[in-house]
Structure 1
Amino acid sequence: MQSRPRTALRSFIQVLGVAALGVALAAPGADAAERKKSAAKKQVSTVAAKRSVAPRKAAPRVKVTRASAVSARAPVRTAYVAPARPSFGELAGLHTLTDPLALKSSVALVIDQDTHEVLLSKNDHAVLPIASLTKLMTGLLITQANLPMDEPITITQDDVDTEKGSRSRLSVGTTLTRREMLHLALMSSENRAAHALGRTYPGGLALFVGQMNAKARLLGMADTRYVEPTGLSSNNQSSARDLAVLVNVAHSDPVLREFSTSPGYEVAVGAKTLQYNNTNRLVHSPAWDIGLQKTGYISEAGRCLVMQTQVAGRKLIMVFLDSAGKFSRLGDAERVRSWVESTPALRSAVPHAVRGNG
């Protein structure tokens, strides 16, 4: 019923607009630019009139919540993921070397602790960053110095990591005993604790680092160099051969054996208690008999692991460096254990070595 009046009205407006346009163009004495401007205005008025009388569809009702309003106002942000930095081993092409066990570590060494027989060797002379494996030497010097283990040590600003910017649950001002600091450094790889141990060594940090290098030379670790006690610096470097020597010596220390293999440890910090866990989940497994262990990681070193363990009746020292993947170093250890247990010649301690192809 309403369509005819509206149609008639639109026709009337169109005729009126055309007539007005004709009058404007025929006006005597009008400037050409002014006539054009006037015509444009009339056309706009005509279109506006058409739109004003055209039927409108009702806009859909949209429920606006507080969350949607905030989301609409918030700018869209894309998370930036930094590309993974290649390790020294990757840059040197060590991962291209294959081995019969398909290990993910570019460097590996498995030897019999008693007979020194090499069961598996892969790039064992390569010198690479060793990350927190450094803390084994730190611990060895602390225990052999016969320092009072109940002496309180306070974390200072000097112990804060400026190398990698790593975090720590031990805030500046935290005071623990030397024993507690050593336990956290070996079991959960606490960097501030390790640095504080070196800083409070008689003679200071520089002397402590000098002692670390002197001890390495004394043990015949010719490929090894230390510049600080935590392993955060990529200038702390060694080879699998040297690290096997260090593991053998450290295993003879009952404190290092106990602290490095304890599954968890609690320390009281002021009014609260902090629970720390071992960085090596293999210490929780009943399938493993681990006498000493240490993990390590910085991007330049990749994932690292050293252990003294018993497999198929043999005492073995395992070294894995520059492993690609968060859990791959533990997977490599599992592969070696399964290989030793399933190989009769290895269980009976008959000399048998496996080397990588390359």
Structure 2
Amino acid sequence: MLQTFRRRAAMWLAIAAAAGLALPAQAQPVLVADIATGQVLEANEATTPWYPASLTKLMSTYVVLTAVRNGKLRLDTPLIYTARAQAEPPSKMGFQVGQTVTVDDALKMLMVQSANDIAFLLAEGVSGSVEGFVADMNRTARQLGMTNTNFVNPNGLPVRPGPDLQRTTARDMALLATALYRDFPGQAGLFSLDAIQIGDRILRNHNGLIGRYPGADGMKTGYVCSSGFNVVATASRGGRRLVAVVLGSQTPIERSETAIDAFERGFAATTARGTLAGLPQTVGAFPVDLREKMCGKSTAKARAERKLDPTGHPWRPILMSKTQVSPVRVYATPAPNAPAAAPKPSGLDEDAPTAFAPAAAAATGAAAAVAGAKATSGAAKAKSLRVDAPKKKAAKPAAKAAKKDGRVKVELAPKTGAKAAPKTGAKTLGAGTVAPQPLSGSIGRNAQPAGPSAF
């Protein structure tokens, strides 16, 4: 597979050279470093402040794993899904208030589905409050040497109106990735999951490199309008593991291919450019804001054209095609004395444009979530939980594989009253597994209105 990939890359580079095409200079933050040594192999705008988006969830994961290591809770500790978690905008799992999810399964949902509600669930379960958890996140960032990073919530969603005080840099994110592998080597598999399965639904990782770039083994993507498409990616080759941080790409495919280019240069590099800790910091600058470029009306035509030619560069290597996944099963127990399930709002892919969360969403959204649980109309509840989200498409009655940005996402219509048989060769959970129970929820783009589903 690696040899085939290299042949394709060499072919495209040869075509570009023959045509006299110069490789374009990178204007976005790109950094490549060695995980084991912290040596920097490539750095471009590596200390420019940027909005982290869902890369924030890597720090949330670090804080949770630290709490587990310190004995504050265990991976099989059940966490109760709250109204405040339910009120978070998509991407989300959309469980009922009162359902429980283990810490282990919650972390898998956080890394694969990038579920914003699960980030709040973990925050409340670990620190007792979201505010306390965010304080732990920022304290940990300072301890790790992330000198130009600040978090305001556990999921990275922007807060409007008012200034968005979230910020990070490619250098700081590389430090965090290094710390996760160094301090929690037994949890490395958490970042390389290609899919999870809950009931009959298979949710694939947003990271376009997993299973498609030789050696790719982590970690996390992120997107909001202000940030563009971000990724912290890791790959291993010849006994070395590198981390590549790419911020501000214009499409998911461009993000993946920029990371691949960076990896290829990094693995070929013979000299280092200093260390992560030694990179000079950009002091006093505000994060670059791509909101108008990524989501503004004036740039809609350019974005549409770019989707037709996602990279615009014929020399870029081609990602290997991926046809199969090995989903890990995750579960949630039903809420005690739960009322009849009402349809949930469909979740969005993390890589879809995300609406800004109002500053008062935590308070008003929680009240709306509780009231919505008692509503008789599924449509009324869906409306109460969405924040300027796109309208849900009509439910599709049969299983269908839909292509999105060059990747295949599996969408399955839920089955009623039948247990889903594990796929042959599928991974299973260990001690943290909770016995599968009926559950309703909405997961993924164009999710069906949920009815009772057997796990």
- Measured against the shorter chain, the TM-score band is 0.5 to 0.7
**Aligned mates of 2:121, 2:50 — CA distance in 1:** 25
Residue 168 of structure 1 corresponds to 92
Residue 220 of structure 2 corresponds to 294
Which residue among 271, 292, 299 is the counterpart of 1:350?
271
**2:125 paired with 1:200:** yes
Deviation (angstroms), 1:339: 3.4
Alignment of 1:67-216 (within 5 A): 102=24, 106-146=28-68, 147-161=73-87, 165-173=89-97, 174-216=99-141
**2:249 paired with 1:305:** no
Q: 1:199 to 1:122 in 2, by over 3 A?
A: same
Q: Is the 8 A contact 2:119 2:154 kept in 1?
A: yes
Residue 243 of structure 1 corresponds to 173
Q: CA RMSD in A?
A: 2.5
**Aligned mates of 2:126, 2:203 — CA distance in 1:** 24
Q: Is the 8 A contact 2:52 2:168 kept in 1?
A: yes
Deviation (angstroms), 1:313: 5.3
Q: Is the 8 A contact 2:32 2:263 kept in 1?
A: no
**2:164 paired with 1:224:** no
Which residue among 278, 303, 308 is the counterpart of 2:205?
278
Q: 1:108 to 1:282 in 2, by over 3 A?
A: same
Residue 356 of structure 2 corresponds to none
**Aligned mates of 1:303, 1:103 — CA distance in 2:** 18
Q: Is the 8 A contact 1:104 1:332 kept in 2?
A: no
**Aligned mates of 2:105, 2:226 — CA distance in 1:** 29
Q: Report Cα offsets for 1:88-127 as digits up to 9, x if no partner.
A: xxxxxxxxxxxx8537671111122334332221111111
Deviation (angstroms), 1:351: 3.9
Deviation (angstroms), 1:170: 2.4
Q: 1:230 to 1:137 in 2, by over 3 A?
A: same
Comparing both structures, which one devotes a greater share of its residues to helix? 1
Q: Is the 8 A contact 2:30 2:170 kept in 1?
A: yes
Residue 264 of structure 1 corresponds to 195
**Aligned mates of 1:242, 1:215 — CA distance in 2:** 12
Using CA pairs under 8 Å that are at least 6 residues apart, name the structure with larger relative contact order, 1 or 2. Answer: 2
**Aligned mates of 1:204, 1:297 — CA distance in 2:** 25
Q: Is the 8 A contact 2:138 2:150 kept in 1?
A: yes
Q: Is the 8 A contact 1:133 1:295 kept in 2?
A: yes
Q: Report Cα offsets for 1:20-60 as digits up to 9, x if no partner.
A: xxxxxxxxxxxxxxxxxxxxxxxxxxxxxxxxxxxxxxxxx
Deviation (angstroms), 1:278: 1.1
Deviation (angstroms), 1:311: 4.2
**Aligned mates of 2:133, 2:82 — CA distance in 1:** 17
Residue ranges of structure 2 left out of the alignment (5+ in a row): 1-21, 159-163, 275-455
Amino acid at match of 1:149: L
Amino acid at match of 1:262: L
Q: 1:136 to 1:213 in 2, by over 3 A?
A: same
Deviation (angstroms), 1:213: 0.4
Deviation (angstroms), 1:288: 2.3
Q: 1:239 to 1:200 in 2, by over 3 A?
A: same
Residue 254 of structure 1 corresponds to 185
Residue 298 of structure 2 corresponds to none
Amino acid at match of 2:230: C
Q: 1:255 to 1:352 in 2, by over 3 A?
A: closer
**Aligned mates of 1:241, 1:326 — CA distance in 2:** 21
Q: 1:316 to 1:167 in 2, by over 3 A?
A: closer
TM-score (normalised: structure 1): 0.62
Q: Is the 8 A contact 2:32 2:266 kept in 1?
A: no
Q: Is the 8 A contact 1:105 1:332 kept in 2?
A: no
Amino acid at match of 1:317: V
Amino acid at match of 1:213: N
Greater shift in the superposed pair: 223-232 or 252-261: 252-261
Amino acid at match of 1:203: G
Residue ranges of structure 1 left out of the alignment (5+ in a row): 1-99, 354-358
Q: 1:167 to 1:121 in 2, by over 3 A?
A: closer
Q: 1:324 to 1:352 in 2, by over 3 A?
A: same
**Aligned mates of 1:329, 1:145 — CA distance in 2:** 32
Q: 1:230 to 1:218 in 2, by over 3 A?
A: same
Q: Report Cα offsets for 1:193-217 as digits up to 9, x if no partner.
A: 1111002223322111100000001
Deviation (angstroms), 1:340: 4.3
**Aligned mates of 1:145, 1:352 — CA distance in 2:** 35
Q: Is the 8 A contact 2:86 2:94 kept in 1?
A: no
Residue 63 of structure 1 corresponds to none
**Aligned mates of 1:261, 1:105 — CA distance in 2:** 28
- Which portions of structure 1, spanning 4 or more consecutive aligned residues, are displaced by more than 4 angstroms? none
- SS state at 1:170 partner: coil
Q: 1:250 to 1:181 in 2, by over 3 A?
A: same
TM-score (normalised: structure 2): 0.49
Residue 15 of structure 1 corresponds to none
Q: Is the 8 A contact 2:60 2:137 kept in 1?
A: yes
